[in-house]
């Protein structure tokens, strides 16, 4: 399950950066807004952000995106904790989410505020200031709303799963002091959430149909491909590898026919998984009787053929960034805790 704030990352670094949308017209933002469906909560949230009313179409569009992403992320996180069987696993998820995932996004948001002068006081001047481009006010509104949603997500997880905390709890004011140079507002935008009516099936996990049950295949079920090593040549421990593939299926990386599921652009994640398997000894180091070394690229080709995926670019990228790869894997419990062969 995806534990990344992908959409927020997109807003801070990629094509959804609000300062890159200055040429988009208000009518276009109104059109885009019509295409957004509200993300409902699958649980009763503890907090909500009551922010300034969005007055322009651009603000309304980003407001909806940011609010939806917060709901999606918290829904997914509740599902992750519910699916974690061991207390140590639950603690791991809470710890890494607060100290790595959300903490990093708070730092990145703070940097955007500093770099582009998106301080909350800009909103107090409104469009009365002639010395500042009007677009600054919309962008400030968007990044400030993002800031408070991130703080809300942190507080929500901290409070809801306090039994699994490894570190001391922090207040909204302390989060402000740690990550931002601006002072915490006198009247908080983060308040106790109103009671919501939950859909009857909102918190139910979708069960996999019995007809789609996963069956381990400890052989080359796709046949042999030229320049690709065979299952017998490359796999170190068949039983251990079969159990891993069951995990791969359970975490929705492959379907019951072993085809990679391209969901939420997870190709980067499965490439990291391939590297982890190599590190943990799931593959033979040499092929016999030739006594020839089996190189990582040959393992990647075998796995890509087996799962009908294409991780060539992402696999090479991780090869050149071992420190980032280690941090990436550490933030994903089931990958980091795969047993060593």
Q: What DSSP letter does each residue of 46-59 carry, written as one string?
A: SEEE--PPP-SHHH
Model confidence pLDDT, tens digit, residues 72-85:
999 999 988 888 88
Predicted pLDDT of residue 98:
94
- Cβ neighbours of residue 243 closer than 8 Å, sequence gap 6 or more: none
| Whole-angstrom distance, CA of residue 162 vs CA of residue 156 | 10
Peptide bond into 194 cis (omega under 30): no
The closest of 337, 329, 341 to 247, measured between CA atoms, is 337
pLDDT digits over 219-246, tens only? 999 998 999 999 999 999 998 899 899 8
pLDDT at 50: 94
Q: What's the pLDDT score for residue 109? A: 96
> Mean pLDDT, to the nearest integer, of 93-109?
94
Average pLDDT, the chain: 88
- What does pTM read for this prediction? 0.63
How many whole angstroms separate alpha carbon 25 and alpha carbon 290?
Answer: 65
- Average the pLDDT over 124-130 and give the result: 56
Q: Which residues contact 126 (CB under 8 A, 6 or more apart)?
A: 137
Among left, alpha and beta (phi > 0; psi -120 to 50; other), residue 308 is: left
Tens digit of each residue's pLDDT (9 = 90 or more) over 136-183: 899 999 999 999 999 999 999 999 999 999 889 999 999 999 999 988
Would the pLDDT of 316 be above 90?
yes
pLDDT at 101 over 80: yes
Residue 207 binned pLDDT confidence (cut-offs 50, 70, 90):
very low
C-alpha span between 95 and 4 (Å, rounded): 14
Please state, for a pLDDT cut of 90, what percent of the chain lies above it.
61
Using the predicted structure, report yes or no on whether residue 247 has a pLDDT greater than 90.
Answer: no
Q: Which of 29-43, 52-66, 194-208, 322-336 has the highest mean pLDDT?
A: 52-66
């Amino acid at each position: 399950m995806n534990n990344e704030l992908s959409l927020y990352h997109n807003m801070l670094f990629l094509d959804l950066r609000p300062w890159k949308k200055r040429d988009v017209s208000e009518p276009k933002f109104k059109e885009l807004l019509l295409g957004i469906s509200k993300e409902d909560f699958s649980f009763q949230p503890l907090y909500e952000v009551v922010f300034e009313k969005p007055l322009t179409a651009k603000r309304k569009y980003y407001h909806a995106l940011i609010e939806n992403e917060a709901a999606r992320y918290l829904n997914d996180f509740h599902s992750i904790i519910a699916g974690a069987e061991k207390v140590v696993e639950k603690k791991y998820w809470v710890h890494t989410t607060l100290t790595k995932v959300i903490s990093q996004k708070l730092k990145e948001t703070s940097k955007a505020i500093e770099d582009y002068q998106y301080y909350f006081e800009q909103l107090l001047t409104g469009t009365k200031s002639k010395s500042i481009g009007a677009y600054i006010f919309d962008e400030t509104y968007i990044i400030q709303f993002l800031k408070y949603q991130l703080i809300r997500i942190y507080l929500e997880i901290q409070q809801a799963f306090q039994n699994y905390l490894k570190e001391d709890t922090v207040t909204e004011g302390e989060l402000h002091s740690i990550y931002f140079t601006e002072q915490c507002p006198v009247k908080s935008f983060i308040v106790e959430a109103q009671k919501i009516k939950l859909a009857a099936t909102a918190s139910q996990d979708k069960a996999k149909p019995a007809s789609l049950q996963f069956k381990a295949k400890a052989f080359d079920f796709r046949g042999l491909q030229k320049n690709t090593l065979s299952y017998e040549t490359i796999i170190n421990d068949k039983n251990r590898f079969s159990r891993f593939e069951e995990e791969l299926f359970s975490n929705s990386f492959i379907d019951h026919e072993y085809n990679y599921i391209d969901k939420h652009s997870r190709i980067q994640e499965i490439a990291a998984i391939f590297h982890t398997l190599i590190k943990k000894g799931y593959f033979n180091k040499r092929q016999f009787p030739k006594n020839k070394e089996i190189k990582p690229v040959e393992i990647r080709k075998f796995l890509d053929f087996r799962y009908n995926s294409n991780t060539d670019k992402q696999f090479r990228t991780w090869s050149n960034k071992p420190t980032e790869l280690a941090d990436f894997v550490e933030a994903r419990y089931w990958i980091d805790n795969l047993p060593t062969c």
